[in-house]
A and B are shown apart, each in its own frame.
Chain A
Amino acid sequence: MIERFRDLWAHRELLWNMTVKELKVKYKRSVLGFVWSFVTPIIMLAVFSLVFALLAKGSDLHWFAVYLMCGLLPWLFFVNSLMQSVGSVITNAALVKKVYFPREILPIAAVGANIFHFVMQMLVFFIFLLIIQWHFSIYLLLFPLVLLLEIVFTLGMSLFVSAANVYLRDVQHFVEVATMAWFWLTPIVYTMATLRGVAGRYTWIYLLNPIANITLLWQYAIYNPHRYGPSAAYLSLWGIVFTTVGSFLLLFASYYYFTRSERGFAEQI
């Protein structure tokens, strides 16, 4: 495993190039190019602000659109990373069959490209927040830690599904469906207050979902729920510990699984 890691490190430049390639290729032949990573969150913000200004009048959440973005942008990062990496080994079949390099570079580069998009979108989001003179809380300092946690979990999932998909193509379709259900198991469009009203003492089961905990952390870090919407203020300590330990374990297990199954890639695809 340490040897594998050294090999990956030796190929760090390739990893960087592949990530840049993912980014370049995505926007090649489009007029606006990189501008799209900014345009998407701006339009999302505009639409949500308008819709929820009209529809969600009864909610106790101020700036519901901001609340939504706090959960939605990290969620999109997670889903897009997963969707892009699940097929990453197969779509690069020509390369995998012909050239040796640590294959984990493929899913990691897919995640890397999405990290870039996410950071860009967050940048736009923060500019918007500064314009409307948002009051941040001290929890904003959690930002880098939450980002790290989400990246670890996302990488773990991505490595696992990309390797599994080589042997069983159903994984790709399963991920598509599963993430749809997963979205509604995550407090993005509703609040923990609503959820607890429904789930009651079974809330702990809900909190076994790492992405739910990560989303709550994002909302705490950016949305400042104590000021703007007390019903969204919820964190579970054991949920966070579970998520942190679980994410790192998942990453190690997935990486191990990936390097084990990687030996058969060239034969399977």
Chain B
Amino acid sequence: MDYAVEINDVSKMFKLYHENVRSLKEKVLLFRKRGYERFWALEDINIKVEPGETLGIIGANGSGKSTLLKCITKILYPTTGKITTNGSIAALLELGAGFQPDLTGRENVYLNASILGFSKKEVDKRFDAIVAFSELERFIDNHVRNYSSGMFIRLGFAIAINVDPDILIIDEVLAVGDEAFQRKCLERIDEIQEAGKTIVFVTHNVEVTKEICSNVVMLDHGHIIKSGNPREVVNYYHQVMETAEEGSERGTHQIEITGVTLLNENDEPTTDFQTGQSMKIKVGYRTSEPITDPVFGFSIDDYRGFTVYGTNTMLKEMDLGTVDGEGYVQFNLKALPMLEGRYLVSVAVHSRDEETVYHWLDRYVPFDMHSDINDAGMLYVPTEVQISR
């Protein structure tokens, strides 16, 4: 069968010259010693994209995502390996690349579409749709030089997404425009998918991939480190990204948190929980001097830093009196409402007036939520459906 995009053993090496030798004099003088380092931006990449599939590519900065897209679109040539594509390609690597400031919006629509490889006839048919999508009806005959950056990007996006390629390649451009515009873009992508077109796209907004991709590939330093089901890959992505930033702590250490353990309903330590299960957060502490009236607290955040829930002993109207020596505080959470995903527990102990932080462990313990429930959203709300006829 023919794949829409087939990437076979592709590697890409960049030569990083120590100095940018560009003039004849330098070239002659440095003839023998043009030192450079080899930098492999991609190594042995194998990806097959079937027609109609939507592939997301995620990874940290510098992982090789954009290089891969550029190889697919023939902007760069792989050092080794081969990439074959079937069908017309429109690439959204940068919106409005090639806009001429001294031409009008209308003229630029035609120019830009032909850069993307589409004929005047095709653009004629879609011109109104493009203008409507960009919401620039009043300005389409003005010079692009007078457009705001938002208008510029909207027009660029409208062109690229309304021409009708077999394969659409998108690099990190969904993050433009206000929320309404983003929504519109996602709806348009839905339509493109329904039309059976292939989409390959790169994004840092990994949650979007869960929504629209049938397959996700995660790159790290030029290698594919995980691929397959979007949920799994995205969760793995969060794990990897968190280990990088986890463990930030601060405080005076007059009370030191010696350990945080998550316990399940059988009081066994674990980091995997089911929706609806109970959880105990056990916070061990040790003081270096007697402390009067400390407050212990915790919060559960998702990967974005969005706090799902948090409380402390002050909010629970408890008075711990004077604390000295070792001990632990345990929070018993009756039922976890979160659906599938990865969360982080932060714990802190501070004075009642919050002036002094004794010890604060930010995003300290990660845990995973699992769920058999296929409902959408972040939290589970027990729902019964009633139908009357």
Which residues on A are within 8 Å of B, measured CB to CB?
Answer: 10-11, 13-14, 17-18, 21, 24-25, 28-29, 92, 94-101, 168-170, 263-264, 266-267
Chain B neighbourhood of A18, CB < 8 A = 111
Interface residue B73 (Cβ < 8 Å from any Cβ of A): yes
B110 nearest in chain A by CB position = A17
Q: Given the interface contacts A25-B103, A95-B97, does A168 sit within 8 Å of B114 by beta carbon?
A: no
Are B14 and A168 in touch, CB under 8 angstroms? no
Interface residue B74 (Cβ < 8 Å from any Cβ of A): yes
Are B97 and A168 in touch, CB under 8 angstroms? no
Interface residue B115 (Cβ < 8 Å from any Cβ of A): yes
Chain B neighbourhood of A100, CB < 8 A = 73-75, 89, 91
Are A95 and B98 in touch, CB under 8 angstroms? yes
Are A13 and B119 in touch, CB under 8 angstroms? yes
Residue of B22, B76, B115, B119 near A168 (CB, 8 A) is B22
Rounded to whole Å, the gap between the CB of A176 and the closest CB of chain B is: 14
Are B111 and A98 in touch, CB under 8 angstroms? no
Interface residue B93 (Cβ < 8 Å from any Cβ of A): yes
Are A98 and B97 in touch, CB under 8 angstroms? yes
Rounded to whole Å, the gap between the CB of B188 and the closest CB of chain A is: 20
Chain A neighbourhood of B250, CB < 8 A = none
A24 to B102: give the CA distance in the assembly, Å: 9
Q: Given the interface contacts A95-B98, A100-B74, does A169 sit within 8 Å of B114 by beta carbon?
A: no
Interface residue B117 (Cβ < 8 Å from any Cβ of A): yes
Residue of A101, A170, A263 near B115 (CB, 8 A) is A101
Residue of A24, A94, A99 near B116 (CB, 8 A) is A99
Are B97 and A29 in touch, CB under 8 angstroms? no
A169 nearest in chain B by CB position = B22
Are A169 and B111 in touch, CB under 8 angstroms? no
Q: Secondary structure of the B side of the interface? A: loop
Interface size bracket, B side? 20 to 34
Best-surrounded residue of A13, A99, A168, A267 (most CB of chain B within 10 A): A99
Q: Given the interface contacts A13-B120, A17-B114, does A99 sit within 8 Å of B103 by beta carbon?
A: no
A267 to B22: give the CA distance in the assembly, Å: 13
A167 nearest in chain B by CB position = B22
Chain A neighbourhood of B114, CB < 8 A = 11, 13-14, 17
Residue of A21, A25, A169 near B23 (CB, 8 A) is A169
Q: Given the interface contacts A94-B97, A99-B115, A170-B24, does A28 sit within 8 Å of B73 by beta carbon?
A: no
Known: A25-B103, A100-B91. 4 other contacts (CB 8 A): A14-B115, A97-B97, A99-B98, A267-B76
A171 nearest in chain B by CB position = B24
Interface residue B70 (Cβ < 8 Å from any Cβ of A): yes
Are B75 and A99 in touch, CB under 8 angstroms? yes
Are B111 and A17 in touch, CB under 8 angstroms? yes
10 contacts between A and B (CB under 8 A): A13-B120, A21-B103, A24-B102, A25-B100, A96-B75, A99-B73, A168-B24, A169-B22, A169-B23, A267-B14
A96 to B94: give the CA distance in the assembly, Å: 11
Chain B neighbourhood of A14, CB < 8 A = 114-115, 117
Interface residue B77 (Cβ < 8 Å from any Cβ of A): yes
A-B CB proximity, top 5 nearest: A98-B97, A28-B102, A170-B24, A14-B114, A263-B77
Interface residue B107 (Cβ < 8 Å from any Cβ of A): yes
Are B100 and A95 in touch, CB under 8 angstroms? no
Rounded to whole Å, the gap between the CB of A185 and the closest CB of chain B is: 23
Are B103 and A98 in touch, CB under 8 angstroms? no
A11 to B103: give the CA distance in the assembly, Å: 21
Are A94 and B23 in touch, CB under 8 angstroms? no
Are A25 and B75 in touch, CB under 8 angstroms? no
Residue of B75, B97, B117 near A11 (CB, 8 A) is B117
Chain B neighbourhood of A266, CB < 8 A = 70, 75-76
Rounded to whole Å, the gap between the CB of A81 and the closest CB of chain B is: 20
Rounded to whole Å, the gap between the CB of A231 and the closest CB of chain B is: 41
Are A98 and B102 in touch, CB under 8 angstroms? no
Chain A neighbourhood of B73, CB < 8 A = 99-100
Interface residue B183 (Cβ < 8 Å from any Cβ of A): no
A101 to B89: give the CA distance in the assembly, Å: 11
Q: Given the interface contacts A29-B102, A94-B98, A169-B22, does A24 sit within 8 Å of B91 by beta carbon?
A: no
Are B91 and A21 in touch, CB under 8 angstroms? no
A223 to B256: give the CA distance in the assembly, Å: 99
Are B103 and A28 in touch, CB under 8 angstroms? yes
Interface residue B184 (Cβ < 8 Å from any Cβ of A): no
Chain B neighbourhood of A29, CB < 8 A = 102
Chain A neighbourhood of B102, CB < 8 A = 24-25, 28-29
Chain A neighbourhood of B115, CB < 8 A = 14, 95, 99, 101
Best-surrounded residue of A10, A98, A169 (most CB of chain B within 10 A): A98
